[in-house]
């Protein structure tokens, strides 16, 4: 007996395959744009020696080529094949039609790899797209032979010649064959798209040298972000110390001084001042503990990441389910960063999501610490709005981590954060970390 789960899986299977067939149809259409782009690019490059003409036209043409190639990279990513953009960053002071922009484009090896892909990419994309579209259509034609005969009567023979049939009997025999071809065509369509994506990756992915250059650029940016974040954090700590604890201690010193002057002349008033000093010292201690907790929470050092996140979740007004599968502890800097990004994500959940419930899950596999924070709120989260999500990205980037956000209007919101790291052996963990 078929269950609802089986029906849902069959529906997902069919939708995935139909999207792949439509993607193959799009590949055929896009392939026909490659040849004009290639011809125009060759003509423009031939005209490069013409004063001013080549310098003005080459960047414009290569921009169109890059738009087409970046579209192919995005299409490849939909199949699970990641093709990173390998272009050199634009030089400072480069203007449209200027020498710097021209030199930046023509000296970038990725420009010539893009041009080299245009023709073979069109041929392969068109061929694989045609196979992915025509095979299911041929199977569908076989399934439609009998209905067409019933509808058209004797006028159907020209259509039936696609399957080399001459009557209703042979049309009935084509039904199982058509169904088999349709299923095989739908099953193969996603694999054909992946083959096309891998072929594009041969040309369009960064080379080893480009990967190293991109890595250096990324490290430069993340280092600058980390330095800025650290400077901002130091300024915050300095401000909190100056405006909070320091002011409280100055006031405490003044109260104790007044009590010392009144101890002989007015003991009762001196006792009141000492009681006020005791209260002020307690307040200063609380503020200092809050400040220390913002630098490195004691619960994180005592109970580890799992215990600290559980303690954090218990203190929130929204019910949060915490699931942890960590066989060890990350290094202290990674552990601290992981705690604070989860804390920031939960803060956003409470403040902005209007969620009734939320969840946190943490796991470690293949050298990757994965943290997922989800809620059933209204969705619509955007890293470009506000600083919370951008702060999470910057904190993760300092450790080569990444953040992926899914927050459609109406919800739910899911934030997936990953940090490469190793875990210590459970034997080296403090016993309190498992509590």
CA 105-111-116 angle, 5° bins: 155
Q: What is the mean pLDDT of residues 296-309?
A: 79
Q: Which two tokens stand for residue 264?
A: 């002989």
20 or 386, higher pLDDT: 20
Question: How far, in Å, CA of 311 to CA of 339, rounded?
Answer: 11
The pLDDT tens digits for 389-402 are 887 887 887 787 88
Largest CA-CA distance found in the chain, in angstroms, rounded:
124
Query: In this predicted structure, what is the pLDDT of residue 293?
Result: 56
Query: In this predicted structure, what is the pLDDT of residue 435?
Result: 33
Evaluate if residue 431 carries a pLDDT over 60: no
Please identify which residue in the block is written with the tokens 């050298």: 367
Question: How far, in Å, CA of 417 to CA of 385, rounded?
Answer: 19
Taking CA atoms, 327 is separated from 321, 330, 339, 423, 428, in Å, by 19, 10, 17, 7, 11
The pLDDT tens digits for 166-207 are 666 666 777 888 888 888 998 999 999 999 999 999 888 877
The pLDDT tens digits for 64-113 are 999 999 999 988 888 888 887 888 777 766 666 677 788 888 888 888 99
Query: In this predicted structure, what is the pLDDT of residue 240?
Result: 60
Question: How far, in Å, CA of 26 to CA of 133, rounded?
Answer: 10
Residue 167, exposed/middle/buried by CB under 10 A (0-12, 13-18, 19+)? Answer: exposed
Residue 24, exposed/middle/buried by CB under 10 A (0-12, 13-18, 19+)? Answer: buried
In terms of Cα–Cα distance, which of 199, 197, 204 is closest to 85? Answer: 204
228 or 77, higher pLDDT: 77
Taking CA atoms, 117 is separated from 65, 102, 201, in Å, by 10, 21, 10
pTM: 0.54
Question: In which band, very low, low, confident or very high, does the pLDDT at 49 lie, cut at 50, 70 and 90?
Answer: confident
- Helix-, strand-, coil-residue percentages of the chain, each rounded to 5: 70, 10, 20
């Amino acid at each position: 007996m078929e269950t609802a789960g089986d029906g849902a899986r069959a529906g997902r299977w069919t939708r995935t395959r139909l999207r792949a067939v439509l993607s193959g149809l799009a590949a055929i259409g896009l392939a026909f744009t490659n040849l004009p782009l290639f011809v125009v690019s060759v003509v423009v490059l031939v005209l490069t020696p013409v004063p001013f003409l080549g310098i003005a036209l080459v960047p414009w043409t290569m921009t169109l080529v890059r738009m087409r190639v970046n579209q192919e990279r995005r299409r490849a990513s939909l199949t699970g094949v990641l093709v990173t953009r390998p272009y050199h960053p634009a030089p400072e002071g480069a203007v449209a039609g200027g020498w710097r922009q021209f030199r930046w484009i023509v000296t970038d090896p990725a420009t010539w790899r893009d041009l080299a892909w245009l023709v073979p990419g069109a041929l392969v994309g068109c061929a694989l797209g045609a196979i992915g579209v025509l095979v299911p259509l041929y199977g569908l034609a076989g399934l439609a032979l009998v209905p067409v005969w019933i509808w058209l009567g004797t006028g159907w023979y020209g259509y039936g010649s696609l399957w080399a049939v001459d009557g209703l009997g042979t049309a009935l025999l084509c039904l199982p064959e058509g169904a088999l071809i349709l299923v095989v065509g739908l099953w193969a369509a996603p694999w054909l798209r992946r083959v096309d994506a891998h072929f594009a990756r041969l040309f369009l992915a960064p080379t080893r040298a480009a990967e190293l250059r991109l890595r250096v650029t990324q490290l430069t940016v993340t280092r600058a972000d980390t330095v800025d974040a650290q400077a901002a954090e130091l300024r915050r700590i300095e401000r909190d110390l100056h405006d909070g604890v320091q002011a409280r201690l100055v006031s405490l010193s003044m109260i104790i001084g007044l009590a010392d002057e009144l101890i002989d002349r007015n003991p009762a008033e001196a006792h009141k001042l000492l009681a006020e000093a005791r209260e002020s010292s307690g307040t200063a201690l609380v503020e200092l503990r809050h400040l220390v907790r913002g630098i490195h929470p004691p619960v994180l050092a005592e109970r580890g990441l799992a215990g600290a996140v559980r303690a954090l979740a218990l203190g929130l007004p929204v019910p949060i389910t915490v699931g942890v599968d960590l066989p060890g502890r990350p290094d202290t800097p990674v552990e601290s960063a992981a705690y604070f990004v989860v804390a920031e994500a939960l803060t956003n959940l409470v403040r902005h999501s209007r969620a009734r419930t939320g969840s946190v899950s943490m796991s470690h596999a293949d050298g990757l610490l994965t943290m997922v924070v989800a809620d059933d709120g209204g969705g619509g989260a955007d890293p470009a709005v506000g600083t919370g999500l951008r702060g999470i990205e910057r904190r993760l980037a300092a450790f080569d981590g990444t953040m992926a956000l899914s927050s459609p209007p109406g919800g739910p919101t899911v934030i997936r954060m990953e940090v490469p790291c190793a875990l210590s052996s459970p034997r080296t963990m403090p016993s309190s970390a498992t509590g």
